[in-house]
Amino acid sequence: MALLSLTLRAARPYAAWIAAVVVLQLIATIAALYLPSLNAQIIDKGIASGDLEFIWNTGMLMLTVCLVQAAAAITAIYFGARTAMAVGRDLRRWVYRKVDSLSALEVNRFGAATLITRGTNDVQQVQMLVLMTLNFMVSTPIMCIGGIIMALREDLGLSWLVWVSVPTLALVVGVLVYFLMPLFRLMQDRIDGINGVLREQITGIRVVRAFVREPFESDRYRRANKAITDVSVKVGNLFVLMFPAIMMILHLATAAVLWFGGERVDAGEMQVGALTAFLQYLLQILMAVMMGVFMVMMIPRAVVCAERIDEVLRTETHQVVPETERVPSPTEGRVEFRNVTFGYPGAERPVLDDVSFVAEPGRTTAIIGSTGAGKTTLVALVPRLYDPQQGEVTIGGVPVAELTRRQLADTVALVPQKPYLFSGTVASNLRVGDEHASDDDLWEALRVAQAEDFVRDMPKGLDSPIAQGGSNVSGGQRQRLSIARALLAKPKVYLFDDSFSALDVTTDARLREALGRVTGEAALIVVAQRVSTIVDADRIIVLDGGVIVGSGTHEELLADNPTYQEIVESQLSAEVV
Q: State in angstroms the smallest separation of the CB of 120 from other proteins.
A: 5
What is the smallest separation between the CB atom of 200 and other proteins, expressed in angstroms?
5
Least Å distance between CB 2 and other proteins?
Answer: 20
For residue 286, the minimal CB distance to other proteins (Å) is 14
User: What is the footprint of other proteins within residues 310-369 (CB under 8 A)?
Assistant: none
Using CB under 8 A as the binding rule, the residues of this chain from 91 to 110 that contact other proteins are: 92-93, 96-97, 99-100, 104, 107
**136, 291 in Cβ contact below 8 A?**
yes
Give how many residues touch other proteins by CB under 8 A. Answer: 181
476 is an interface residue for other proteins by CB under 8 A: yes
Residue choice 164, 216, 327, 397 for contact with other proteins (CB under 8 A): 216
Please report how close the Cβ of residue 151 comes to other proteins at its closest, in angstroms. Answer: 17
Q: Which of residues 248-277 bind other proteins (CB under 8 A)?
A: 248, 251-252, 254-255, 258-259, 261-263, 265-266, 272, 275-276
Q: Which of 232, 341, 390, 551 binds other proteins (CB under 8 A)?
A: 232
Contact present, 379 and 351 (Cβ < 8 Å): no
C-alpha angle 286-287-290 in degrees, rounded to nearest 5 = 90
Binding string to other proteins for residues 123 to 152, with x set by CB under 8 A, is what? Answer: -xx--x--x---x-----------------
Q: Which residues contact 440 (CB under 8 A, 6 or more apart)?
A: none
Contact 467, 519 (CB under 8 A): no
* Minimum CB–partner distance for residue 355 and other proteins (Å): 20
CB of 159 to other proteins, least distance (A): 19
Rounded CA-CA distance 256/267 in Å is 16
Write the interaction track for other proteins spanning residues 35-54; mark x where CB under 8 A is met and - where it is not. x--xx--xx--xxxxxxx--
Q: Which lies closer to other proteins via its Cβ, residue 86 or residue 354?
A: 86
Smallest distance from the beta carbon of 319 to other proteins, in angstroms?
11
Q: Which residue from 441, 180, 447, 126 is spatially nearest to 297, judged by alpha carbons?
A: 180
- Can you give 352-416 as a three-state secondary structure string? EEEEEEEECCCCEEEEECCCCCCHHHHHHCCCCCCCCCEEEEEECCEEHHHCCHHHHHHHEEEEC
Which CB atom, from 341 or from 529, has the smaller least distance to other proteins? 529
Binding-residue pattern over the window 375 to 394 for other proteins, x denoting contact by CB under 8 A:
-----x--xxx---------
Q: Which of 121, 331, 339, 356 binds other proteins (CB under 8 A)?
A: 121
The answer to whether the CB of 429 falls within 8 A of the CB of 485 is yes
Entry field: residues in the chain? 577
Q: Which of 408, 445, 481, 548 binds other proteins (CB under 8 A)?
A: 408
Q: Please report, as residue ranges, which positions from 160 to 189 form the binding site for other proteins (by CB under 8 A).
A: none
Among 157, 204, 399, 552, which residue interacts with other proteins (rule: CB under 8 A)?
Answer: 204
Q: Closest approach of Cβ 354 to other proteins, in Å?
A: 23
DSSP, collapsed to helix, strand or coil, labels residue 353 as strand
In the bound complex, what is the minimum distance in angstroms from residue 439's beta carbon to other proteins? 19
Measured from the CB atom, the residue of 170 and 250 that comes closer to other proteins is 250
Of 53-92, binders to other proteins (CB under 8 A) are: 55-56, 58-59, 62-63, 66-67, 69-70, 73-74, 77-78, 80-82, 84-86, 88-89, 92
Partners of residue 365 on adjacent β-strands? 525, 539
Which CB, 321 or 354, lies closer to other proteins?
A: 321
Among 13, 236, 300, 397, binds other proteins (CB under 8 A): 236
Spatial separation of the C-alpha atoms in residues 113 and 42, rounded to whole Å: 63
Among 189, 521, 560, 569, binds other proteins (CB under 8 A): 569
How many other C-beta atoms are found inside a 10 Å radius of the C-beta of residue 226?
12
Burial label for 245, CB within 10 Å (0-12, 13-18, 19+), is: middle
Q: Which is nearer to other proteins, 440 or 575 (CB)?
A: 575
Contacts of 473 (CB under 8 A, 6+ apart): 421, 454, 466, 481
The Cβ of residue 158 has, within 10 Å, a number of other Cβ atoms equal to 23
At 95, which amino acid appears? V
How does DSSP classify residue 521? T
Minimum distance between the CB of residue 205 and other proteins, rounded to whole angstroms?
5
- Footprint of other proteins on 493-532 (CB under 8 A): 502, 504-507, 509-510, 513, 529-532
* Residue 468 binds to other proteins (criterion: CB under 8 A): yes
Q: How many CA atoms lie within 13 A of 232 on its CB side?
A: 10
DSSP state of 25: H
Residue 481 · residue 473 · CB < 8 Å? yes
Nearest-CA neighbor of 342 among 563, 562, 543? Answer: 543
Do residues 383 and 497 lie in contact, with contact meaning Cβ atoms separated by under 8 Å? no
Residues in 424-463 that interact with other proteins by CB under 8 A = 432-433, 453-454, 457-459
Query: By three-state DSSP, how is residue 92 classified?
Result: helix
DSSP string, 221-262: HHHHHHHHHHHHHHHHHHHHHHHHHHHHHHHHHHHHHHHHHH
| The only residue of 145, 171, 175, 247 in contact with other proteins, by rule CB under 8 A | 247
Q: Give residues with Cβ within 8 angstroms of 266, minimum separation 6.
A: none
Cβ-based nearer residue to other proteins, 204 or 399? 204
Q: What's the chain's Rg over C-alpha atoms?
A: 36
- Alpha carbon distances (Å) from 369 to 406, 494, 496, 531: 32, 19, 15, 10
Nearer to other proteins, 265 or 427 (CB): 265
Indicate whether 191 belongs to the interface with other proteins (CB under 8 A). Answer: yes
